[in-house]
Amino acid sequence: MPAVELTRFRVDPAREQELLRTRPGMLADFRADRTGFVEARLVRLPGNEWLDIVVWETTEDYAASRAKGPNLPGIAAFFAAIGEVVSAEEGTLIRE
């Protein structure tokens, strides 16, 4: 079953444009380097918080991605714009 990564984080308002500018590079690096990456959705929440919803083919793919961390420039640039991780959760996508 597909795994879903839910990461809630805060971004300083002065770095929002940097976050949005670096997002395409992060996604390109994920597509090139992360086995099992399916898609990602970025949601702006109140209070300078954001939610990143990332879908992986399997929980093993998600674990392998976590182990790599920000290993490519596009991923590192996006992560650098994040001020604080509020929470990170993993779930299973239910296909209806």
| Bridge partners for 87 per DSSP | 8
User: What CATH number is attached to the domain comprising 75?
Assistant: 3.30.70.100
Please, which pLDDT band fits residue 96 given cuts at 50, 70 and 90? confident
> Using 50, 70 and 90 to split pLDDT, how confident is the model at 11?
very high
Give pTM, 2 decimals: 0.93
Integer Cα distance of 83 and 47 in angstroms: 13
Q: Per the domain annotation, does 89 fall within a domain? A: no
Residue 95 confidence (pLDDT): 81
Identify the domain containing residue 56 by its residue range: 3-84
Q: What is the dihedral of CA 52, 54, 60, 66, to 10 degrees?
A: -40
In a domain, 95, yes or no: no
Number of domain units in the chain: 1
Q: Please report whether residue 93 resides in a domain.
A: no
* Residue 62, domain member (yes or no): yes
Per-residue model confidence as pLDDT tens digits over 20-63? 999 999 999 999 999 999 999 999 999 999 999 999 999 999 99
Mean pLDDT of the region 64-73: 97
